[in-house]
Structure 1
Amino acid sequence: MLWNAVTAKVRESAQVARRTEGRLWSLLAVVVLLSVVTGIVGWVEFEARSDGIEGAEQRIEVADAALKVERALATTDALSFDVVLATGERVPHLRREWKKQLDEVSRALAPLMKRGVGEGVELNRISGILALLPEYAGTVEAGWRELEAKHVVGTAYLSTASNLVRGSLLEMAQALRQDQATAIREAHAVASAPPWGTAIAGTALLVTLIVAQVFVTRRTRRRVNLGLVSATVLTLFILAGSGIVTALLAVKSDVNADASAHVDKLAEALRQVWAVDGTQARTLIFPRVTDSGEMEGALRDIDRVAADEGDAEKVHQATDMWRKELARPDSPADEFQSLAEGASGGKQAGEADGGLRDLIEPRKDAANDATRSALALLVPCAAVVALAMAGAIGGAVHGLGMRIREYYR
């Protein structure tokens, strides 16, 4: 009895499925299913992209802080030697400037450490820099005291401090900044990748809606079903909108990658500026055979990077003056006096620093703006996809439902 009832119900359902109303039910079920799938897949894809870019935006703060730290550390390294060569009122002035740059490092990183900004590797680098600052400061101050007392060991202290900056602190700061830039570029690359899941599900939905429209037109002799048309328009809107958003995100990804690459080169040039300034001063305290060649090579690199960036007249003027200053006079006494006057003031370094910073800021802003605008573009996308697919379901139910109800009157 039960088996007969079940088989009879199956045969009845099969007969209904072969009739027009049954096919309409089948089309409605497929449209609703594909709309739900498209909405869910679109939500997941765009939400993931939005989360990635939001994380990238949070990294901007760390990257900017790392850039400030790089410059401040390179400056303190140079000033630690400049203080030794200065005389009169220049000594306390340069010491205050050295302390100011050292405090700049703490001001940039301490808030990040306190709030736990970044991941494990970033926090380790930030804590590592902050932990080494007291050791560096104490070593430099010990070197100054010893040199004031005419003890040669003071040069060893300054050399140790300089090696600590160039070999550890600057390397950690540079790695911190480059890690952020790399993570931001990767987030842009993921965000600008085509949303294949949404595209495939949306295309399947679009084809089904077209088939449903053709079927309804042929069976009911009604050329336009407004419900199906509205669902089709919403589906086309999602497919076209996804393509447009992806194209815009690709542009922003390219802008960020290009600007970040320029910032990286300019930051390295800025680091070299203060390295040359510190080396120039150190050569008058404890020279090395390779100093002259290293400084000339660094100045060439600075000129090349500045020339690649366009308007760099300020930087070129500073490096030209630097080369003239480094030209050895005939008299050893004149040589020392000439070099000491330039080295203890950091004039050329300051001018080159200002020129490079003028080049860095607009490129850094361009990279950051690309990330922020990408986030603003992505934030509403997931909700728009979900709402559009909800509207498509409503349109399909209304359009096909009206035709289905005609068979049950």
Structure 2
Amino acid sequence: MKLYEYESKDIARKYGVQTPRGVLASSPEEALRAAEEFGAVVLKSQVLVGGRGLAGGILKAESPAEAYMKAKELLGKMIKGERVEKLLVEEKICVAREYYVSITVDRATKQITYLVSSMGGVEIEELARKHPEKIKRMSVDPSIGYLGYMGREAAVFMELPWSLSNQVDHVLSAMYRIMIDYDAELVEFNPLALTCDNKLIALDAKIIVDDNSLFKHPELQALYGRGLTPYERKAKELGFNYVELDGDIGVISNGAGLTMATMDAILYYGGRPANFLDIGGGAGRERVKEAVKLLLTHPKVKALLVNIFGGITRCDEVAHGVLEALAEAGVSKPVVVRMLGTNEEEGRRILSEKGITVYSEMDEAVRKIVEYSRGG
């Protein structure tokens, strides 16, 4: 679960990390009052998407009157599909340099790992692609935890004065404690700024908490589900493993591995998956029906691929679920089915009688769905 910037900064301050003074505003009048207190300010849209700066979601104002006008411009604006309902209005900071620091779980090494760089304010993926030598990785032995030498190594790598090594140590130590205490998948300060008076301050903060740990954090449970699209929310209610993507080919499969392989095949043949939807093992016709209806009614989906390996999942049940969904959805879109396994022959017969061709080979089915998505 992603936290908003202001929530992440609230947590960071509890652990002693300095952040700019700021006020949460939901109206231009509140932004005006904040600017009257702080002077020059930065107005930051509170949305749960990346790249908001490039999308025009962060604006500066030199006076209260300008802050009022900029707040009117930002509130209600759509940033990458998310409506801006609140602004974080912060004092403008004199910045000498910007750095990048984060701590996350490295699944390859199965360790908590720091990423630090002397280049801040840019996306870490872009930084890793263009300047991999500018990123330092430091793994933490989970049986020992954070050690002070890591802060000193980070300070040296970021080319900070030795006099600031204690501040770096404090920031990195706080990040590790946040990571552990909140069961976080990511704690990121980007940028971590060196101010003109030689202080390290988190200009931006991002914390992502593992959904599976929310039972341990009652203060966060009520926040779960916000920022989801209506289709993501519906999928959660139905118990599907579902992720929305930017493509136009709907994908339904059983098992995370097969679903991922299906998406890879679609990309290989020039298509673009609209989603990841794993209905799980042993899905009956009702579960299949709800999954198919969900994607058929999604406006981004031009064509739908159902790719099922029938182990404990019966192909005849899948076939009935597909037909019931087509009857109830009231939407006509191309549907391609590939099924193999338990009761495969019966499933083929059920669908064939309704004019739906069933494929045995995934490549054939994927090529066909890509063709449909292109209007073929």
TM normalised by structure 1 equals: 0.19
| Structure holding more helix per residue | 1
| Structure holding more strand per residue | 2
